[in-house]
Amino acid sequence: MKRVRPLLIGIAFAFSCSLSMASDEVNLAYHPASGAQWTMLSVLDAQVPIVGNKHLAVSYDLSCTDSSADSAQLTLHIPQVDVEGTVVGPVEASFSLSPWGDVSRLASSQLTDSLVGPLLKNVGMIFPKLPGGLVSVGAGWTAREVLHLPDLGKMKLPSKIRLDGAFNYLRPVGGREEISISYREADGDIKVKLEGKCFYDKETGIITNAGIKGTIKVKRFFKWFTIPVSINAEMK
């Protein structure tokens, strides 16, 4: 027994360490409960050269109609909103949300509208990408995102910007999980540098608030123009 005891102690120690490591893992995945309802207020601010400051605040009223391990089915309501001096809405839509934050099967009768369309398509920005499973502090992952831009007048911008996102799970704080966000341009004749954070609530299975800010640079008339931008989303 004396020879066996060190082996048993080693096995017990390894087992306890594995349990301790497992207990530190967090399931960073979207899993809203069926019947859950919440509102996300998304605010876009941009300081556009020549044109001036742009401010767009949109309330996304969300309702989960069905939820499974593979996806959640959500409906979306946007009350009336002022877009560049034009009041649009209310707007209705539905879509599917994957555990890692992909928005698919977005459906609305107003999806092709030049003003309403970008508001609907940007719903993906209030669901920053997650790993969709168990991770520990320090874990990192990457994902592709698309930012849809409304018409900003004289400063002609592309209708959408493809972004490469890099994310890191920083730490648990205040009952939520803090995640860093970094976006860079994926392609095109623009330069993007956006940084920020979001906070995940493992009880509700959603991101409760997120914020990024930085610059978008575009070349017009052989000159680079810098547009300071901030995008913030918060549960109301």
What's the CATH number where 66 sits?
Answer: 2.30.230
Model confidence at 153, pLDDT cuts 50, 70, 90, reads low
Determine how many CB atoms are found less than 10 A away from the CB of residue 212: 22
Nearest CA to 54 among 234, 233, 229, 232?
Answer: 229
Q: Is 64 within 8 Å of 35 (Cβ atoms)?
A: yes
């594995």: which residue's tokens? Answer: 18
Model confidence at 1, pLDDT cuts 50, 70, 90, reads very low
Model confidence at 21, pLDDT cuts 50, 70, 90, reads very low
Rg (C-alpha) for the chain, rounded Å, is: 21
Its domain, for residue 63, covers: 4-235
C-alpha to C-alpha distance for 117 and 99, rounded to whole angstroms: 24
H helices of the chain, in order, are 4-23, 116-121
pLDDT tens digits, one per residue of 3-20: 444 444 344 444 444 444
Query: What is the reported pTM?
Result: 0.84
C-alpha to C-alpha distance for 28 and 26, rounded to whole angstroms: 6
Residue 123, both tokens: 């719903």
C-alpha to C-alpha distance for 120 and 30, rounded to whole angstroms: 19
Residue 70, both tokens: 């593979």
> 146 φ, ψ to 5°?
-130, 125
Number of domains in the chain: 1
pLDDT tens digits, one per residue of 86-104: 787 799 999 999 999 999 9
Determine how many CB atoms are found less than 10 A away from the CB of residue 75: 15
C-alpha to C-alpha distance for 115 and 39, rounded to whole angstroms: 21
pLDDT tens digits, one per residue of 41-54: 999 898 888 778 88
Query: 3-class SS at 130?
Result: coil
